[in-house]
Amino acid sequence: MSPEPEPLVALVGNPNTGKSTLFNALTGLRQRVGNYPGVTVARKSGQCDLGPAGRVELVDLPGLYSLAAASPDEQVVVDALTGRISGDRRPDAVLLVVDATNLLRNLFLASQVAELGVPMAVVLNQADVAREQGLRIDVGLLSRRLGGVPVVLASAWKAEGVSEVRRAIAQALADRRLAVRVAWPAPVAAALDEVTAALRTDLGVEPTAAEAQRALFDASGSTTARLGWTGPRRDLVLRSARDKVRRGGYNPFAAEPLAHYAHLRVLLEGVVEEGGTARSASAAVDRLLLHRLLGPVLFAAIMLGLFASVFWLAKFPMGWIQDGVDLLRGFVAPKFAATPMLQSLVADGVIGGVGAFLSFLPQILILFLFVGILEDSGYMARAAFIMDRLFSWCGLSGKSFVPLLSGFACAIPGLLSTRTIEDPKARLATAFAVPFMSCSARFPVYALMCSAFIGPVYGPGWESAAMVGMHCVGLLFAVPVAFILTRFVLRVRPQPFVLELPRYQLPKPRDVLWRMWQNAAEFVSKAGTVIFAITVIVWALSYFPRDPAVADRVRAAEPSLTGEALERRVQAAYVEQSWMGRFGKAVQPVFDPCGFDWKITVGVLASFPAREVIVSTLGVTYSLGEGAEADSAQLRTAMQSARWQEGPRAGSPIFSLAAVLALMVFFALCSQCGATVATLAQETGGWKWAFASFATMTVLAWLAATGVYQAVIRLVPPA
């Protein structure tokens, strides 16, 4: 680091202006992604080379329409621009990214930013589209009207005008010119003075013009709260100031946009010359994709296609990763043959656990890829538009749809994609519902149970029916849970759902792939460490204590056994007397109403890091060794022949239809996924909600499993 830090330039703009594409073009992907402290808003920054003018640090702030801070994203922008974020500098200049086809609306934000008193440069992006629409923009005139701040035309998508943007940044930093500010109507100006004076005396520091405006104009009071201006005096001052505005003939909550837009109307006069036919292609596509009958059909087709391709495309790389992990295990394990404990830790604990986690990475990557394509093309907003009605009744919005759909592949990307939901409560409720979706880690459990017990007895028809049914169980529970949560716990007020349906455009492969990579890297680094820790803990619990007497006892009890069969029996005995085994036996009475024996209970407990672990745990407890898989015929036979050893059910099969269904329902609803719990904690900003989710899901899983078991043993005669 040089002693003199590089100038900091903030990228600000409306959503759908191609801001991130421009950011990628300017930084050339030399980027760092972090988090703003306390909130789950990503801070993307990168280095931008301005040529002779040196280098600057560019930070890409979340897209927003107005500085009236409502969502966490918007608050971050306001805080970042006012230098109120701890550990972050106040930007030396703002690069305002504007959609050239809709100057009036986009410049509203510019006009608000001008109030902050930061040097500014304006990029009229998507200039190519404006040209196609026959718009001619007088850039020089606009620059003069804005008070001489640099204004340039660019098309980041086509990489046009990027060097002009660099020059504009350099010029803004050199001239430090401020954009012209809005002239407030007299009553508004008087009210602002009143608020400024009160802020000055109450806080002891000179407030900025923007701070006074936010205090006066925002009903939410989030700015005054952050300034530390609270109490009855604040309310008194604000009420009197707003009354003053009202007496002047303005609505205090509408005066700001009215003044800005009036100012912009004058400013833009003669700047844009329209010619030819405006908007066309997008409206035509919408006629098809948002058709009242065809729209939902196409929507369902797109979503099913997405879901199916996530599943099928990921199958191959998942297989490779699994093979690779097995190969690595086979290669590494002999190296530790001298110390069996280390061997087990490395081979079973670390390689096995991390391998199981990594094998879901392809699904996550593909899902992020498709979600990125849908977002960048503009269809995601349409999907929310189509689905909104279905979600609005339980307090959610159309924006909850994608997270929930993603949850069917894996809860983690689902949770990460809740970041697009502005309202923190709606976001939390969605995050709570996501883990209920039947993710692909449940699949091996269903596959094992259905192929071992449902298929052979009731035929393949019932087998697939059970598979499909299990995928719906979570959905059945998620809807009422979300409803109760939004209505009675969080008391989500109906949120205004205002959403721009942007112009359709072709996604830029580099942007989509880059975002996919960033999301996946974040997921692996954050969730991966927690999973690793949990995996090692669970391994230790099922390994220790390792009393050699146990092995001797097995050998003495069954002298006929030799070689591998003996080894497996010894392993099973070790697991039985491990902490996990003892705990499982102790806890088994809790799961008795669900029809689980102690071996299943151990499987349930040991599969806390990841659901699919139960398959290999059952493999160990049924003395088949570690390598058991869902399609293992041996495991199936061993489980089919398992009988209750004692108690009232002695002699009857453990895996009866009732117990099998109960086990599947349990796994459909339980929260046996360390990664999900960790991600939930990260995304909701604390362990409180992660724990609440875990507890709710476990209790629901137990209740539902008990209900199913008790109902089936009473209603269905044994086959």
Partner 1 sequence: MALGLLPGMTLKLVRRAPLGDPVAIEFGGQVISLRKAEAESLLVDVAADCPVQRPRGTP
Window of 23-31, 285-293, 347-355, 368-376 that interacts with partner 1 by CB under 8 A: 285-293
**Euclidean distance between CA atoms 578 and 541, whole angstroms:** 7
Window of 118-126, 163-171, 256-264, 688-696 that interacts with partner 1 by CB under 8 A: 256-264
Window of 255-263, 407-415, 455-463, 682-690 that interacts with partner 1 by CB under 8 A: 255-263
Residue whose entry in the numeric block shows the structure tokens 């086990």: 663
Residues in the chain: 719
Q: CB burial class (10 A; 0-12, 13-18, 19+) of residue 641?
A: exposed
Contacts of 423 (CB under 8 A, 6+ apart): 71, 397, 492, 495
Handedness of CA 114, 120, 126, 130 (dihedral sign): positive
Window of 89-97, 137-145, 251-259, 335-343 that interacts with partner 1 by CB under 8 A: 251-259
Window of 30-38, 144-152, 492-500, 672-680 that interacts with partner 1 by CB under 8 A: 492-500
Count residues near partner 1 (CB under 8 A).
Answer: 38
Q: Could you give the dihedral angle defined by the CA atoms of residues 46, 49, 50 and 56, in that order, rounded to the nearest 10 degrees?
A: 40
Question: Of 466, 474, 397, 419, whose CA–CA distance to 673 is shortest?
Answer: 474
Handedness of CA 239, 244, 247, 248 (dihedral sign): negative
- 219 makes contact with partner 1 (CB under 8 A): no
DSSP secondary structure letters along 177-215: PPPP-----HHHHHHHHHHHHHHHHHHSSPPPHHHHHHH
Binding mask 259-278 for partner 1 (x = CB under 8 A): --x----------------x
Query: Strands 55-60 and 8-13: what pairing?
Result: parallel
Of 104 and 565, nearer to partner 1 (C-beta) is 104
CB of 253 to partner 1, least distance (A): 8
Query: Strands 151-153 and 120-125: what pairing?
Result: parallel
Window of 281-289, 349-357, 470-478, 636-644 that interacts with partner 1 by CB under 8 A: 281-289
Window of 60-68, 79-87, 119-127, 153-161 that interacts with partner 1 by CB under 8 A: 60-68
- 108 makes contact with partner 1 (CB under 8 A): yes
Window of 45-53, 420-428, 491-499, 690-698 that interacts with partner 1 by CB under 8 A: 491-499
- 97 makes contact with partner 1 (CB under 8 A): no
Among 176, 279, 315, 493, binds partner 1 (CB under 8 A): 279
Span 366-395, contacts to partner 1 by CB under 8 A: 381, 384-386, 388-390, 392
CB of 102 to partner 1, least distance (A): 5
**Euclidean distance between CA atoms 192 and 57, whole angstroms:** 34
Binding mask 450-489 for partner 1 (x = CB under 8 A): ----------------------------------------
- 134 makes contact with partner 1 (CB under 8 A): no
**Euclidean distance between CA atoms 382 and 302, whole angstroms:** 12
**Both tokens of residue 382?**
């349409």
- 501 makes contact with partner 1 (CB under 8 A): yes
* Secondary element (H or E) of residue 636: helix 633-640
**Euclidean distance between CA atoms 658 and 663, whole angstroms:** 9
**Euclidean distance between CA atoms 59 and 35, whole angstroms:** 12
Question: Of 369, 143, 453, 120, whose CA–CA distance to 267 is shortest?
Answer: 143
CB of 483 to partner 1, least distance (A): 18
Among 29, 159, 219, 258, binds partner 1 (CB under 8 A): 258
Span 66-85, contacts to partner 1 by CB under 8 A: 66, 68
- CA-to-CA dists, residue 381 to 30, 53, 428, angstroms: 29, 40, 20
- 558 makes contact with partner 1 (CB under 8 A): no
Each residue of 314-353: b (16+ CB within 10 Å) or e? beeebeebeeebeeebeeeeeeeeeeeeebbbbbbbbbbb
Among 311, 458, 462, 497, binds partner 1 (CB under 8 A): 497
Of 260 and 515, nearer to partner 1 (C-beta) is 260
Of 261 and 517, nearer to partner 1 (C-beta) is 261
What one-letter code names the amino acid at 585? K
CB of 496 to partner 1, least distance (A): 5
- 290 makes contact with partner 1 (CB under 8 A): yes
- 496 makes contact with partner 1 (CB under 8 A): yes
What one-letter code names the amino acid at 258? L
What one-letter code names the amino acid at 591? F
**Both tokens of residue 112?**
């608000």
- 111 makes contact with partner 1 (CB under 8 A): no
- 292 makes contact with partner 1 (CB under 8 A): yes
Among 254, 308, 327, 521, binds partner 1 (CB under 8 A): 254
Quote the radius of gyration of the chain (alpha carbons, Å).
Answer: 30
Of 125 and 623, nearer to partner 1 (C-beta) is 125
**Euclidean distance between CA atoms 547 and 420, whole angstroms:** 53
CB of 369 to partner 1, least distance (A): 26
The residues that touch partner 1, with contacts defined as CB under 8 A, are: 65-66, 68, 101-102, 104-105, 108, 254, 257-258, 261, 278-279, 282-283, 286, 290, 292-293, 295-296, 381, 384-386, 388-390, 392, 398, 494, 496-501
